[in-house]
Amino acid sequence: MDIPAITPPDAQAQRAAAARIAELAVPLDGLGRLAELGCWLAAVQGTCPPLPPGRARVVVVAADHGIAAGGVSRHPGSATLEQVRAVREHTAPVSVLAPVSGASIRIVDVGLDHESTDPHHVRRGSGRIDREDALTAEETERAFAAGRAVVDEEVDGGADLLIPASLGVGATTAASTLVSALSGAEPVAVVGRGSGIDDQGWMRKTAAVRDALRRARPHVRDPMALLRVAGGADLAALAGMLVQGAVRRTPVLVDGLVAGTAAMIADDLSRGARAWWRIAQRSTEPGMELVSTHLSLPPLVDLGLRTGDGTGAVAVLPLLQMSARVLAETELAATG
């Protein structure tokens, strides 16, 4: 696996943005996080003032998980296909909100349990991780490469900001297992309500994570082995997307526990990549707090969302657009 060294964002453009903010006709530190976001945009775009992201692309990575058979979700495994259909038919929240923010959506089927025509499809569902590996080594490599290839396609097509997203019944169980393995936290501190499970469902999910964690712990220092043993095709593809976003010098908004977990894996695979990412919003999933702490990336807002389909990120996208405009268009303070 050949991952190029990550080039850091442009420090000179970031300093220029900070200097410009200091000259604006606003109180000292009056712009708060908007100023911080404007400086980050300047750095990742390599120019000051930065441009508002105008061609944001949501990439919804869809896959089924064998662990869904363990009763870890409010939905049966077959529900993933219905969720994908809702995105395609513009009736899912992310589909409704994306046009408001000027974003477009692409669905990538890396692991749905059906006959697929997607060239990036790796397999029909992942293995049940409390009993068997999620993927083979070869499938893990293919899924990771698929994520990288998708980023190349999108950036070459003009995308100026990427939003990796996830759809898959059981995906947060796999993600919680990986977060627990990487952070050292016990399953009870990581497992959330996912699809809205009741107490009995939470107990089943926690037990599944506990059993999967026993299988995952020996591989905690090998990110690709973790994806193989306790991840899935979606998590591997999302990790590839996050790595390649940094390789291609393209900013990424991370949203939801599954994409956040993939960011933890990607950070281990490619040091420095996290400088190209921001966490969109504070998910109600407890594991997301561990992700944020691990990456030293505080969420931009707290919307109380638990979805991982990119809804939170497209809701936050206007803040990035505003941060660029306020930096470019706010009146400069009078001098002399």
Q: DSSP string spanning 213-243?
A: HHHHGGGTT-HHHHHHHH--HHHHHHHHHHH
pTM of the model: 0.97
Same domain (yes/no): 44, 79: no
Q: Does residue 286 lie in a domain region?
A: yes
Structural domains in the chain (count): 2
Confidence (pLDDT) at 329: 95
Are 70 and 204 a contacting pair, CB within 8 Å?
yes
29: left (phi over 0), alpha (psi -120 to 50) or beta: left
Distances (CA, A) of 244 to 144, 161, 269: 10, 12, 11
In a shared domain, residues 108 and 208 = yes
Instruction: Supply the pLDDT for residue 65.
Output: 98
- 20 and 135 both lie in a single domain: no
At which residue do the structure tokens 């956040």 appear? 260
Length of the chain: 336
Looking at residue 335, its pLDDT comes to 60
Tell me the sheet residues that pair with 105: 58
233 and 288 share a domain? yes
Q: Are residues 269 and 169 in the same domain?
A: yes
* Residue 170 counted as domain residue: yes
**pLDDT at residue 336, rounded to an integer:** 47
Q: Is 335 within the bounds of a domain?
A: no
Strands 161-167 and 56-63: parallel
Asked if residue 295 belongs to a domain, the reply is: yes
Mean pLDDT, consecutive 10-residue segments, the chain of 336 residues? 93 97 91 96 98 98 97 93 97 97 98 97 98 98 98 98 97 98 97 92 97 98 98 98 98 97 98 97 95 97 93 97 96 73
Task: Indicate whether 153 and 191 sit together in one domain.
Answer: yes
- pLDDT attached to residue 266: 98
Whether residues 33 and 94 share a domain: the answer is: no
Instruction: Measure the CA–CA gap between 7 and 129, rounded to whole angstroms.
Output: 35
Q: Are 255 and 313 in contact (CB under 8 A)?
A: yes
In terms of domains, do 36 and 74 share one?
no
Q: Do 47 and 60 fall within a single domain?
A: no
Token readout for 110 is: 């890396």
Same domain as 124, residue 77 = yes
What CA–CA distance (Å, rounded) separates 260 from 178?
A: 11
Same-domain status, 278 and 162: yes
Q: What is the pLDDT of residue 194?
A: 85
* Owning domain of residue 156: 56-318
Residues 166 and 25 in one domain: no
Q: Is residue 334 part of a domain?
A: no
Please report which helix (H) or strand (E) contains residue 211, including its range: helix 199-216
Closest CA to 285 of 310, 251, 257: 257
